[in-house]
Structure 1
Amino acid sequence: MTAMTAMTALTAGARAEVLRLRRWPALWTLAAAWLLLNITFGYLFPYLSYRNGGGFGSDGVDPGRLLGDVLPETVPAAAVQGMPMFGGAILFALGALAAGSGYGWGTWKTAFTQGPGRLSVLGGTLAALAGCVAAFVAATFAVDFGIALSLASVEGQAIVWPAAGDLLGGLGGGALILALWTAAGLAVGTLTRNPALAVALGLVWTLAVENLLRAVSSLLDWLAPITDVMPGTAAGSIATAAGAASVSDGGSPGVVDDLGGGAAVTVALVYLAVFVIVTAVLMRRDVA
């Protein structure tokens, strides 16, 4: 296959996957669920706490801080704070469903036997999912800026925009966090070929197992080096580097500061590459 032919096949695969995902109700349901969670925990609860003088786990917190958390200057931190756990679980489900449904509906079997090849199918799927990740991040920041600007206007606060570095860090960090979990879901979905099982495994891991292991590691010293390099730890540390408060400082669940920003990004990129490679190996060895 020549380079031109391979590129054509990849482009065709990406268009086919985008068409499949775009017409897929699950994609829009997951997107709506994430935005609802982001708005609820990032803006609704903090603002209600500010207006009521406390509540929602923020008793004793300075009202000025509560108000500052929902203003435009803090959008990068607010946007990424829910991504390590809640956003990660949702994007894991997206990746798992993309792979599992490809097998369950027979679309990948047809592409494997009659289409341009397995790696072209994988490349198209990865490109389509990358577009989904970018859209999730862009929509999150757009919605958050809209809400923050509205609240600043209602409260009579001056509009202070986040620094360019903070904004880029939030965008890049958020994209890496969601891409990491999407790739993990794609790998598990390809391994199990069962979307329901893959989604269940992802939810258990992202919402329970990693948090339990991190809690236990505070009692077992030998476990700490293992939990420090888990994908959730890397994702949570990236969120902290982007400005989100860690759970130990009253931040969202899943946001930790176990790794520095550079180390967290490195670990996340390694996991991202490993998940993609595992998916590719599984697809090449698969007998559709």
Structure 2
Amino acid sequence: MAASARAELLRLRAWPAVWVMVSVWLLLNLTFTYVFNYVAYATGSTSFATEGVASDSLLAELMPSAIPQIFTGGMPMFGGAIMFILGALATGSGFGWGTWKTVLTQGPGRLAAFGGTLAAVATIVTGVVAATLAIDVAASVLIASAEGQSIVWPSLGALAESVGAGLLISGMWAAGGVLVGVLTRSPALAVGLGLVWSLVVENLLRGVGNLLSGVEYVTNVLPGTASGSLAGALGAANEPDGDGTPGVLTVLDGGPAALLTAAYLVAFVVVAAVLMRRRDVA
């Protein structure tokens, strides 16, 4: 499994698509979390994200002390979609390129090879979360220095809780992509299904749930609801109802949201592993 993980990491590192996705997410996080809000604060202008927010509150959200509250804000929807694509490409491409057939007939057992892929994807997800934290810290320190504000660091407990939630959210969506990549055996189809589900289907179901009470019981336990509520429990939502940040919700409390997100992560991995072990890969 260790050899498979090293080989899979080599493949993913050498794939430009992976670097493009990671760069897009880091740029989105920096732009929407800090750049746009700082421009709005410095110029006194407003946007859909800052309308009705006092300038002092807006500046406070850009300080290092606010990192635990805003760190996971973009992960349930935008970051989650990119992690889903990563997982789907990591497994789905192996079917289209024929590499799974080669590895599983000449290399280690199926579970060892698939475990190596999961380890490689988990390593990249961890690196992306760490890079996101580094960018947030750097941006907030630069803004605090530019505005002459004292740098107050958040508590280690709050920061660790936020980073843990980021790993859980990103890991769940990446595991979902791994599962759909195995199910469809096609990276293009897996990516398309993942984007439609995370960006369209769940939002439509929530809209229907606001009209039909029975549907609400289903939408309250969807993956997007779990990850969005976990981010909302940490303070990522700008409004009490979660409408301030796309994808961030306050439907579930922090504990149930974390447990449900972890349950989805485990379920996605187990089902994908069972399929890889039992199905023909030709």
Distance 1:250 1:40 in 2: 19
Match of 1:276 in 2: 269
Match of 2:233 in 1: 241
Q: Deviations over 1:125-144 (max 9, x none)?
A: 11111101110100000011
The equivalent position to 1:128 in structure 2, one of 111, 120, 141, is 120
* C-alpha contact (below 8 Å) 2:242/2:248 kept by paired residues: no
The equivalent position to 2:101 in structure 1, one of 109, 112, 116, is 109
Match of 2:41 in 1: 50
Distance 1:14 1:265 in 2: 27
Q: Deviations over 1:85-123 (max 9, x none)?
A: 000000000000001111111111111111111100111
Q: Deviations over 1:40-96 (max 9, x none)?
A: 110111111111223221233100011111111111222210000000000000000
Match of 2:156 in 1: 164
TM-score normalised per structure 1: 0.94
Larger displacement relative to structure 2 (40-49 or 79-88): 40-49
Aligned positions of 1:206-221 closer than 5 A: 206-221=198-213
Distance 1:201 1:133 in 2: 20
Larger displacement relative to structure 2 (52-61 or 175-184): 52-61
* C-alpha contact (below 8 Å) 1:237/1:258 kept by paired residues: yes
Q: Deviations over 1:8-29 (max 9, x none)?
A: xx11111111111111111100
* C-alpha contact (below 8 Å) 1:76/1:242 kept by paired residues: yes
Question: Percent of aligned positions with the same letter in both sequences?
Answer: 54
TM-score normalised per structure 2: 0.96
* C-alpha contact (below 8 Å) 2:232/2:242 kept by paired residues: no
Match of 2:177 in 1: 185
Distance 1:166 1:54 in 2: 31
* Runs of 5+ consecutive residues of structure 1 not aligned to the other structure: 1-9
Distance 1:173 1:256 in 2: 14
Shift of 1:242: 2.2
Match of 2:20 in 1: 29
Aligned positions of 1:75-114 closer than 5 A: 75-114=67-106
Distance 1:162 1:106 in 2: 48
Distance 1:66 1:249 in 2: 17
Match of 1:5 in 2: none
Runs of 4+ more than 6 Å apart: none
The alignment's C-alpha RMSD in Å is: 1.1
Distance 2:174 2:242 in 1: 28
Q: Deviations over 1:146-165 (max 9, x none)?
A: 01000000000010111112
* C-alpha contact (below 8 Å) 2:87/2:177 kept by paired residues: yes
Distance 2:243 2:260 in 1: 25
The alignment status of 1:251 with 2:227, answered yes or no, reads no
Shift of 1:215: 1.9
* C-alpha contact (below 8 Å) 1:54/1:60 kept by paired residues: no
Q: Give the paired residue count.
A: 279
Distance 1:26 1:72 in 2: 32
Match of 1:4 in 2: none
* C-alpha contact (below 8 Å) 1:246/1:256 kept by paired residues: no
Query: What letter is aligned with 2:5?
Result: A
* C-alpha contact (below 8 Å) 1:81/1:239 kept by paired residues: yes
Shift of 1:256: 0.2
Shift of 1:249: 4.9
Distance 2:147 2:120 in 1: 40
The equivalent position to 2:7 in structure 1, one of 13, 16, 29, is 16
Query: What letter is aligned with 2:200?
Result: A
Larger displacement relative to structure 2 (96-105 or 138-147): 96-105
